[in-house]
Amino acid sequence: MTRFQIQVPATSANLGPGFDSVGIALTKFVTLDCRPADEWHFAVPEEDQPYIPAGKTNLVYQTALHTAKVHGHDSLPPTHVTMTNDVPIARGLGSSSTAVVGGIELANQLLDLRLSDYDKFKIACEIEGHPDNVGPAIYGGIMVSNYDNGALDYVHFTDGLDDLTWLAVIPNYHLKTEKARGLLPVELPYKEAVNNSGSANVLVAALAMKNWELAGRMMKSDRWHQPYRQALIPGFTDVEKATTDAGALGFYISGAGPTMLALFDEWDEAKAARLKQELADFQVEPLQAHLTGVTVHKQTEAKHC
Ligand code: HSE
C-alpha cells in the first residue's frame, strides 16, 4: 500500500506589468498527505474549513476528477487527504492554483497517468484561464507564459533567484480575484497599451539578465492593473513607502491582491524586525523563490508478517 505526499508552492503573479503572464513560486506550501481509504475525505485545517469543503465538492477533488476524465477514467480510487495549508486563502498568493495543481498531481499519482509538466500546465490553464500562477506552481522559479485559445507558450528560468528576498506583506482580509478583475477597464488607449507592453518586456528581459534594480523599477511602473486595484488595499501607499525606505528594489500587488510584495537584494534580520514592527497591521513574511515547483514524496508501508 503506497502513501504519498504532494507539496505545491504558493505563487505570486504579475510582478507589476507582467499581467496574466509572469509569476514566481515562493516558499510557502500546501501539503496533501494521501492514503488509500474506503471513501473520499479531505481533512482540512480548522481555520480553512469555512472555505474548503471536506467532500467531493472541493477544488482539489474536482480538478483531480476532471484530469482523470480527460485521460479516459471515470473515477478515482477513494483516498483520505490530509491538507496542511500555509498559503492564505484569497490573498493573492495563488491559493486556488495550489488546489488546481494539487488536484492534477493527485490524479496523476492515483491513476499513474505519467503526465509531463507541460501536460499538467495545459490542464491547469484550461481550468484557471490564465497561466501566471499555475505555471510557477508546476515548474518552480519564474514562469513567463501566454495562454491564448488553447495555445500555451512559455519560458521558464531560475538563475540567480537564490540571491533575492520577496517580502510578502499580507493584509488580514480576503479579496476575491473576480472582484479585483471586475475593476479593470475593458479597453485601453493604444498608446497606453504600447507603453505597458514595453515595461512588461523590459521587466522580463531584466529578470532574465538578473538586472534586479531594473526589474524592480519596472514592477513599480505597472499601469495594466495596479492603478485600478490600489483602492481595494488600505495602507498600500504606506507599505510601499516603508519597504522602499528599507531598500526594496521593487514593489507590486501580488496577483489580484491584497498581498503586496517587495523585492530585496539585500536582506538581514535587523531589516526584518524593523519592518515587522513598522507594518504591525499586516502579516510580514520574508520569502525566497522556490525553484522546483510541485513535488511528490512516495512512502511505501513496511509489510508486517
Ligand atoms: N493575473 C491574475 C490577476 C492573477 O491579476 O487577476 C490572479 O489570478
pLDDT tens for each residue of 227-253: 999 999 999 999 999 999 999 999 999
- Please give the share of the chain, as a percent, with pLDDT higher than 70: 98
Q: How many helices (H) and strands (E) does the chain have?
A: 10, 11
Instruction: Give the residue among 5, 3, 65 at the shortest CA–CA distance from 31.
Output: 5
How much distance in Å is there from the Cα of 255 to the middle of ligand 1? 5
Residues in the ligand 1 pocket, defined by CB under 6 Å: 13-14, 19-20, 130, 132-133, 177, 180-181, 225, 255-256
Specify the amino acid at residue 153.
D
- Give the pLDDT score at 152: 97
Q: pLDDT tens, 192-207?
A: 999 999 999 999 999 9
Q: pLDDT tens, 134-185?
A: 999 999 999 999 999 899 999 999 999 998 999 999 999 998 889 999 999 9
Q: Indicate the average pLDDT of the chain.
A: 95
Instruction: Give the residue among 231, 248, 249, 235 at the shortest CA–CA distance from 279.
Output: 235
Q: Which atom of ligand 1 approaches the CA of 14 most closely?
A: 1
66, 127 in Cβ contact below 8 A?
yes
Q: 302 pLDDT band (50/70/90 cuts)? A: low
Domains and CATH numbers, the chain: 2-158+291-300 (3.30.230.10), 161-287 (3.30.70.890)
Over range 273-297, report the average pLDDT: 97
Using CA atoms, how far apart are residues 156 and 183, in angstroms rounded to an integer? Answer: 30
Q: Whose CA is nearest to atom 3 of ligand 1?
A: 256
How much distance in Å is there from the Cα of 31 to the middle of ligand 1? 23
- Give the pLDDT score at 301: 62
Sheet arrangement for strand 283-287: 250-253, 260-264, 165-170, 283-287
Name the pTM for this structure.
Answer: 0.95
Q: Which atom of ligand 1 approaches the CA of 181 most closely?
A: 6
Task: Using the structure block, give the residue that is written with the C-alpha cell 531598500.
Answer: 247
C-alpha cell at 157: 528560468
- Please give the share of the chain, as a percent, with pLDDT higher than 90: 94
pLDDT higher at 283 or 302: 283
How much distance in Å is there from the Cα of 135 to the middle of ligand 1? 13
244, 251 in Cβ contact below 8 A?
yes
83, 43 in Cβ contact below 8 A?
yes
Which residue intervals of the chain are DSSP H helices? 59-70, 95-110, 117-128, 134-139, 177-182, 190-208, 212-220, 226-229, 236-245, 269-278
- Give the pLDDT score at 2: 86
pLDDT at residue 305 greater than cutoff 50: no
